[in-house]
Structure 1
């Protein structure tokens, strides 16, 4: 039988592993009597762990929320996974120092065999560039912004913020008032979901007056004071937030946008692109339009060049000039 201290740690580990346990289940797992379990529960409470009890035939014990974070008792695989995750975390500013502190504390108490395993993985793995698909530095988002947005989603609370999207002539309204021009801020929305894609964070939200759904880049959001106003969530059309983000970003989520006429049927273009590249609109049996974007002109040029199809670009003017420059450069390369 385990001594009292070891048994208390084992009991605490069990209670952290799932939401609730009956006294009989705990007694069986620890090979002790029900009376011993009740005594150990009282010892945990004396040590400051908020163990809640539900009495009756269907009664159970559960570890409640306390004023302080109790020690987390991780098994070997969990400890290694957390250590690797802390080393590999990227893309959210404001947590670098706290992540480093957490990793230091974890590695300090890891058993030698696990510390060697984490160290071996760290030394054997090389990290590639943060952005392998673009020549633009990856945006960073303040962790406090993501936390506040997530809390508003959880609590179904209206969210108000300033939005610094690049100005474009064809932008549609993104306020709750459909008559307000794009860029007339602040924005008031019903927040529904955060989506992480291509090292960007996006908020999917609905206008409380218009009912229109839009995507907002989190790194372009500057939060205002909390509204404290609740809303009644409605069902998201189609239910697929990630697919909606891919479609909406193609038209309003990049620094640079373009409509490219492609001399091919829409189905041929769709067969050649990743859905994340953009939206394809059919014009007729032999022509289609690719609505796409990126955070640089160079990346749009790369996308269109990889189509392997004839295309024509008339806007934006900067992209037209960039393609002319590329054309001359490629022509000189084979002279």
Structure 2
């Protein structure tokens, strides 16, 4: 028979699966008697867990929601995922203070092996206007990258291009992990290209062993958020993911356009003129997006965007003509 403490944890883990358990089923799973199960249930209740009893020949138990939050049981994977989510939330101004306190509380009860790994994971969440973060990356990969960043060791990795093809092995000095528009990125100094680069975390496959230790070089302006925002939304591209980027001058004020342009750049040119830089998956899609502002515009570039406007104009004209002929 397992020790009482281990058995209580095992019992609590079973009860947290959100189902009714009979006393016989619990006794069988724990390899104890039904009487022992009843005693253990009473011990958990004394610790503050609201365990409800169901009537019946064999009886039954369910872990309910209590008025107070009792101690919680997480396995290693759940603890890491929770710490990761809380670190991301801590960078959000709306719940940042509460999330930071929650990280500190969780850290206090973590085993040492997990505490060191979570401490190595420092997250910067960069939230463009009008977006929400919904990260999709392997927590183990993020922890590994966090450890390499903290150790200040060169990262050796394989990187999958957007088209799905693999690039030659890469070498970089990792600087920071961050989120942008729901994706995780690694900010690093690319040793082969000798420039700052951002890499999609879900396309990284870490090679072992790591490279030698290095002294981190200063980031331009020493501001991760400002640097990434400028890199993804600067004049060299609206975002790193858009294959088509173009611009036009709208006959509207920047103040009027900016609230409706969370994915682009708005440059004020005068009381009723502003330059808009946008990205899209296609040139016709970009042309349609610019058309939504319902105003005159000029100085369209590049030529592919102007061609897309002509194509859309022909389509719209045919649609209007067809509608007129049938009415």
Which TM class, normalised by the smaller chain length? Answer: 0.3 to 0.5
- TM-score of the pair, normalised by structure 2: 0.44
